[in-house]
Amino acid sequence: MKFGVVVFPGSNCDRDMMEALQINLQQEVIQLWHKDKDLGMFSTDDCIVLPGGFSYGDYLRCGAIARFSPMMQSIIEFANKGGKVLGVCNGFQILCESGLLPGVLLRNSQQQFVCKNIFMKAAENGSAPLMIPVAHGEGRFYANDAGLQELEQNRQIIYRYCDEKGDITESANPNGALQNIAGICNKERNVFGMMPHPERACSLALGNVDGKNVFNHLFGIN
């Protein structure tokens, strides 16, 4: 499997993502520039990653400008053909702005930037909680009642914030996201978005390899 990591002006997690994929997970990685358009080197078995950071300084809304970059137009076409796309933090915001994922990421309920380790777990398979870092000011997932119902019915909620025991509680929610939603996917299950940073938890040197479980869960790699 091959991964492409997009770099926008203001991205600051692209190197972390590339290192995690290339060094810790032994995957082929190609860096992609936001002004380019060519994804001809990728097949629908591959994955394009939108990393975290502050694309275009988060002006207007987080991801609102990056959504119109030339590369994003190609990524939308790629996803519509069945290609895999992963957005982490700012990447998740860009996917929501582009319409590839439903909902929106609002300002954290406490109106403060949060940067810490949190626990989350896969919504479907009853897996053990994973300790994954978060670092964001606008990570509060919101959708209207109809949108939430559709996410539930289509099993599109892939991760929820929980405590270290795996219990989904209000106190375990770092940003006030509805229903403790930490990550979702599209109906076709080829586009994934999440606020936590699994790439920051893939190395023993960092004292945490729980992030590898995320990549294994989504893409079958470890």
Catalytic (active-site) positions: 89, 197, 199
Exposure string of 6-26, with b = 16+ CB inside 10 Å and e = fewer, is bbbebbbbbebbbebbeebbe
73's CB contacts (< 8 A; 6+ apart) are: 37
| Helix or strand (DSSP H, E) at 10 | none
CA dihedral 196, 202, 206, 209 (to 10 degrees): 90
**Distance between CA atoms of 166 and 162, rounded to whole angstroms?**
5
Specify the pairing of strand 130-136 against strand 2-7. unpaired
Taking CA atoms, 112 is separated from 33, 46, 128, 140, 171, in Å, by: 31, 36, 29, 11, 16
